[in-house]
């Protein structure tokens, strides 16, 4: 079992592969979570998913037999909102699945069909919803003056779906970086910004 003196400052708990694998709970995971809570060790559940909101993740937890508070779930979207707040940026063009937009809180979501000034262009995993029109809209936002910040919710190149390999976020971010001559701020794992935001939420520093 974990040593409380070692982990007493806080624990970041990955989800897929640690707590569950796909839709199956990993043996011993709930017992470990119960122990962490009994010892009152600050913790966050961390995930790189940008296709589900935190509420949807909580529903999945319940279906697998454990629960958590929404404040205990850390996603790239949460990291992005913290980064925007720190840099006093308040509006964004959100190229993310509709289900995750609710986690952007008070950030003003600019309609993607309006070519108006924005503080940031945020790119998540749109999957098959990506097309030339969407990518070109993101490009046009980035070419405004002053230029908004490009924020990537992850930089995974691809993943394996049921029917084969699928493009992830990174290829689209790289295309926009090249076209708009800019560099993205990456806020998904394993970028330092993700872990810095997570530790800030826990109020502790890295071991």
- How many structural domains does the chain have? 2
pLDDT confidence bin for 3, thresholds 50/70/90? low
Share of the chain above pLDDT 90, in %: 78
Containing structural domain, residue 11: 4-75+193-202
The answer to whether residue 207 sits within a structural domain is no
- pLDDT tens track for 190-201: 999 999 999 989
Whether the predicted pLDDT of 170 surpasses 60: yes
Question: CA-CA distance, 28 to 173, in Å (whole number)?
Answer: 38
**β-bridge partners, 94:** 122
Distances (CA, A) of 45 to 18, 20, 28, 181, 182: 10, 12, 16, 35, 32
Same domain, yes or no: 145 and 85: yes
Same domain, yes or no: 67 and 130: no
Q: Which of 58, 55, 86, 72 is nearest to 187 (CA)?
A: 86
Kindly report the length of the chain.
Answer: 207
The answer to whether residue 91 sits within a structural domain is yes
pLDDT at 5: 54
- pLDDT tens track for 75-111: 999 999 999 999 999 999 999 999 899 999 999 999 9
Same domain, yes or no: 61 and 147: no
Same domain, yes or no: 47 and 109: no
Whether the predicted pLDDT of 8 surpasses 60: no
Q: Which of 174, 99, 184, 192 is nearest to 147 (CA)?
A: 184
Same domain, yes or no: 18 and 118: no
Nearest-Å Rg of the Cα atoms of the chain is 18
Residue range 177-186: average pLDDT?
Answer: 98
Same domain, yes or no: 68 and 41: yes
Whether the predicted pLDDT of 9 surpasses 80: no
CATH number for the domain including 172? 3.40.50.1000
The answer to whether residue 54 sits within a structural domain is yes
Q: Is the peptide bond before 146 cis (omega within 30 degrees of 0)?
A: yes
- Top pLDDT among 11 and 7 is at 11
As a whole number of Å, the end-to-end CA separation of the chain is: 18
pLDDT confidence bin for 162, thresholds 50/70/90? confident
- pLDDT tens track for 18-68: 999 878 899 999 999 999 999 889 999 999 988 899 999 999 999 998 999
The answer to whether residue 26 sits within a structural domain is yes
* Average pLDDT of the chain, as a whole number: 92
Same domain, yes or no: 84 and 182: yes
């Amino acid at each position: 079992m974990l040593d409380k003196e070692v982990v007493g400052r806080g624990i970041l708990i990955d989800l897929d592969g640690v707590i569950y694998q796909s839709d199956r709970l990993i043996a011993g995971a709930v017992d470990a979570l119960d122990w962490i809570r009994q010892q009152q060790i600050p913790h966050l559940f961390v995930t790189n998913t940008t296709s589900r909101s935190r509420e949807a993740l909580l529903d999945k937890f319940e279906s697998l037999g454990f629960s958590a508070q929404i404040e205990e779930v850390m996603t790239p979207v949460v990291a992005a909102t913290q980064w925007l707040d720190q840099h006093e940026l308040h509006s964004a063009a959100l190229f993310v699945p509709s289900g995750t937009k609710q986690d952007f809180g008070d950030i003003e979501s600019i309609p993607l069909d309006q070519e108006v000034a924005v503080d940031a262009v945020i790119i998540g995993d749109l999957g098959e919803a990506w097309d030339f029109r969407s990518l070109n809209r993101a490009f046009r936002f980035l070419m405004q003056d002053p230029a908004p910040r490009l924020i990537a919710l992850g930089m995974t190149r691809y993943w394996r779906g049921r029917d084969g390999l699928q493009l992830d976020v990174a290829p689209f971010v790289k295309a926009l970086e090249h076209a708009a001559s800019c560099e993205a701020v990456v806020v998904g794992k394993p970028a330092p910004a993700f872990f810095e935001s997570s530790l800030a939420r826990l109020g502790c520093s890295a071991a």
